[in-house]
A and B are shown apart, each in its own frame.
Chain A
Amino acid sequence: MSAPAIAAFDLAKNFGDTHALQGLDLQVEEGQIVGCLGPNGAGKTTMIRLLLGLLVPSRGRAEIFGLDTRRQTVAAHRRLAYVPGEANLWPSLSGAETLRLLGNVHGQVDLTYQAELIERFNLDTTKRVRALSKGNRQKLILVAALMTRAELLILDEPTSGLDPLMEQAFRQCILEAKERGQSVLLSSHILSEVEALCDRIAILRSGALVEMGTMAQLRHLSALTVEATFEVDVPDVAKVPGVSMIEVQGRTLRCQVRGSIEPLLAMLAHSGVQELLSHEPSLEELFLSHYGAPLVEATHGPDEK
């Protein structure tokens, strides 16, 4: 069996007293697209910089395709491509010169694909980097990574500064990469992007992994929203097991259900339901239910409300 694309074992990093990452265990199997979510300062970038060997772990270790990120850095890097959230490039080089230089350093470039990417991202490679906008620099560094067709793509907020059209082009590229069997680790704040692309989602918080699973698994952990309109009166559902967050507006009931929905259905069946809607939580709702309340508290202070 081949080694996983990414494997982290008890990976930890402290900066002075700050525990940026505390004992992360993570696996990204070959061919998988794993999304990584978390509020600012959760440790996503620290994790990625540890995987790239730019930081030295305080504890634990990590492997890329079975290659140790510290001792076999160069061999590991032959098999990956990385896109940072902020492109720091040489201001005096033109786009074409930057691509050629970075391609040479990587050692392997699919030139046909490169031309296709430049076309797709609508990139002017004759301009000096100094004269490019933030979004265009980001496009340049995206093309530099994708053109290598590396087996593993590590992307740290890769679409920051891109317009919706380019964002669409990016998604297309990632889906193609998946079809070709490339693996992807995608850290992003754009939840729709993660939801649309990723097979599995890891949620980080304060330097620790709090959830890891497919969308279906994560949904299972969260509540289902049920909306029902009644012919006459809204029954009292407060005592039904698993039901919470009850809101009543006229003849309409809104509530959330955790676990089995059967007890609620049984009750509603005898209460004259006119309309019944239920929907699974979106990733955004999942994310907010994980972070919403504590975040509000942290930013506004406990004495507000």
Chain B
Amino acid sequence: MARTKNSPEVDATPVTSNSPSTVIARLSARTSVRAGVGWGLVFGFYVATQALTYATTYKTAASRHILVQEFGNNAGISALVGPAIRIDTVPGFTSWKCLTVLAIMGAVWGILTSTKLTRGEEDAGRWELLLAGRVTRRSAAQQALVGMSAGALGLFVSTALIITAVGHSSKVNIGVSSALCFSLAVAGGALMFLVIGALCAQLSTSRRQAISFASAVLGVSYAIRMVADSGSGLSWLRWITPLGWIEEMRPLTSPRLWVLAPVAALVAVLGAGTILLAGRRDVGAGTLPDRSTLSSVRRLPTSPWGLAVYLSRGTLLAWGGSIVAYGLLLGSIAKSGGKMITASSSLRNDFARLGISGAEAYLSVAYLLMAVVLSFVAVGQVNAARKEESGGLLENLLVRPFSRVSWLTQRIALATAVLALGGVLAGLSTWVGAAREHADVPLSSMFDAGLNVAVPALLIFGVGVLALAVVPRMVSVVTYAVLVWFLLVEILGSVVTANHWILDLSGYHQMAAAPAVAVNWSANAVMIALAVGAAGLGVLRFNRRDVKGE
């Protein structure tokens, strides 16, 4: 019989001789360094591919000149990814292509890590064991911050190593100091949002809420940076957003290390605030007031469907708000963005011949990001379903006369409705934004374009449902992997001439570039059929497995 045997020394001596005052720091460091190094490798790899691709694709000065003409002054594109400075050089192009994208990914890593290792651990009740010992709440928060900073350091080191190595190549030629500065900028961004996440974790009552708060901060930072970079004469706005500071470091073109000062100041102030708040509140509670007594029964929820809607309403409202804000923003800068494309590009005649306005051309590029936003909603929906199961909440329904099939079908229906509505909101808000600037974008084509970006998200959701049924403990890994795969193939595939089989495997590549191109409903039908198939199979399989906890 398999029984675990107690090790004999447990009774007599402490487990290790390490001081208890570093337990949380070491635990946090272990988890976050592993993840930080991993993400750093991906970041480094991404930078390396962009640099090498540019060096091999645009060999001559003439081809680079065309690139500058096309994108050099394009306010629309620079609103999305930052201004194109010296993109006739490898460092300039690489910086333009990578810095904002990686800063955002780093910020997402920071938010997920800090909310997980502070609030998540607390929600799970694991901190209570330590706090009952000799660790104070304040020191726990302090230790977690120190430990997670080690994760940001790991991210810096692994990113820097790859970029430095690739920079040595004579084709690329990025100096060691530039490589270090670039990695510092990305890791600095991650660290800022790590601390922002930690502070939000102290303010809110659950990890979910903390993530929503911190994501809102990230969304606002990005939106302010967009306005600053959209050529509207408001470029000073860059100085009030963390993402703007990263841009102002100009790490690969003309490094300015002194911009690290506001970064360091923000980290120090918010870090201190986090520690201060941690000492003031109760374990398990938030700093912001939370009503614990309800005098009357509210209207929702009275059924599992109502419950699902009720529980996801906060998240859905936040996503809906972000989609509308982003749509309005895109719409309002579409005209100027499009003007730049058609004014300076050899594509002008092609567009004219096809009857496409510049704004439509611009929006079709920018809508890739809208597809990504909706895909995140899809991933969130699958993971929320899994969390309902792993947290034991689903059992409350399943031990009553409510079948697994009903539960999963309702979840699917909810997600489908949310994604479709998200697509419609995206299209409408973009149209409203564009119409206010008198851009030439018809409502019907924007409506179609909105629904169009919901299709790959639906496919990701379908695959996620199948994963939920077959490999429940891997749902989050599978869904994020599919999303990243779609995105990487689409981004890299647009520059590298890759095998069409690989390109075909990306949902974003299959999606037509609406509104510039008519929506390809037959390709979309294939994706929807795949989504329905995967989800249907998922429902069948889900009925035949054990209900599993974490």
Contact = CB atoms under 8 A, between A and B. Distances in A.
A82 B399 contact: yes
B547 A105 contact: no
B545 interface: yes
A85 to B, nearest CB: 11
A61 to B, nearest CB: 14
Q: Interface extent on B, as a size class?
A: 35 or more
Contacts of B295: 126
B304 interface: yes
A77 B407 CA distance: 15
Interface stretch (A51-59, A111-119, A247-255, A283-291): A51-59
B297 A97 contact: yes
Contacts of B391: 88
A2 interface: no
A100 B546 CA distance: 28
Q: Which of A75, A78, A97, A298 has the most CB of B within 10 A?
A: A97
Nearest to B304: A105
Interface stretch (A28-36, A127-135, A184-192, A233-241): A127-135
A225 B5 CA distance: 35
B307 interface: yes
B393 interface: yes
A106 B307 CA distance: 15
Contacts of A106: 400-401
B307 A101 contact: yes
B293 A100 contact: no
B292 A130 contact: yes
Contact of B302 (A91, A104, A131): A104
A206 B297 CA distance: 46
A97 B297 CA distance: 6
B399 A52 contact: yes
B436 to A, nearest CB: 38
A206 B1 CA distance: 9
B402 interface: yes
Q: Which of A73, A102, A298 has the most CB of B within 10 A?
A: A73
Q: Which of B301, B307, B396, B398 has the most CB of A within 10 A?
A: B396
Contact of B400 (A49, A97, A102): A102
Given A77-B401, A298-B3, A126 B294 contact: yes
A89 B292 CA distance: 15
A130 B286 CA distance: 12
A55 B549 CA distance: 12
B52 to A, nearest CB: 46
A100 B1 contact: no
A75 B401 CA distance: 7
Interface of B is mostly: loop
A96 B3 CA distance: 44
Nearest to B284: A130
Interface residues of A, number: 41
B10 interface: no
A55 B292 contact: no
A242 to B, nearest CB: 32
A100 B304 CA distance: 11
Interface in B192-212: 205-206
Contact of B294 (A82, A89, A94, A299): A94
Interface string B395-414: 11111111100000000000
A18 B4 CA distance: 13
Contact of A97 (B205, B298, B401): B298
A17 interface: yes
Given A94-B294, A126-B294, A131-B293, A54 B546 contact: yes
Q: Which of B205, B293, B297, B392 has the most CB of A within 10 A?
A: B297
Given A56-B546, A105-B304, A298-B3, A100 B400 contact: no
B303 interface: yes
A84 B391 CA distance: 14
Interface string B1-29: 11101100000000000000000000000
B265 interface: no
B500 interface: no
A301 interface: yes
A104 B303 contact: yes
B311 interface: yes
A164 interface: no
B21 to A, nearest CB: 30
A77 B292 contact: no
A17 B304 CA distance: 36
Contacts of B1: 206
Contact of A89 (B303, B393, B398, B546): B393
A128 B396 contact: no
A54 B297 contact: no
Contact of B395 (A18, A84, A93, A128): A84
Nearest to B3: A298
Given A77-B401, A101-B301, A105-B402, A128 B205 contact: no
Nearest to A73: B403
Interface in B521-550: 544-547
Given A77-B401, A105-B397, A94 B297 contact: yes
B398 A54 contact: yes
Contacts of B292: 127-128, 130-131
A96 B297 contact: yes
A75 B544 CA distance: 18
Contacts of A167: none
B294 A74 contact: no
Given A18-B2, A105-B304, A106-B401, A88 B396 contact: yes
B401 A78 contact: yes
A102 B401 CA distance: 10
A54 B401 contact: no
A90 interface: yes
Contacts of A193: none
Closest 6 CB pairs of A and B: A88-B392, A131-B292, A94-B294, A82-B399, A54-B547, A77-B401
24 contacts: A52-B398, A52-B399, A53-B398, A54-B395, A55-B547, A56-B544, A56-B545, A77-B399, A77-B401, A77-B402, A84-B392, A84-B395, A86-B392, A88-B396, A90-B311, A92-B311, A94-B293, A94-B294, A97-B294, A100-B297, A101-B301, A102-B400, A105-B402, A128-B292
Given A104-B302, A127-B293, 7 more contacts: A84-B392, A89-B396, A94-B297, A100-B297, A105-B402, A106-B401, A301-B5
Interface of B: 1-3, 5-6, 205-206, 290-295, 297-298, 301-304, 307, 311, 391-393, 395-403, 544-547
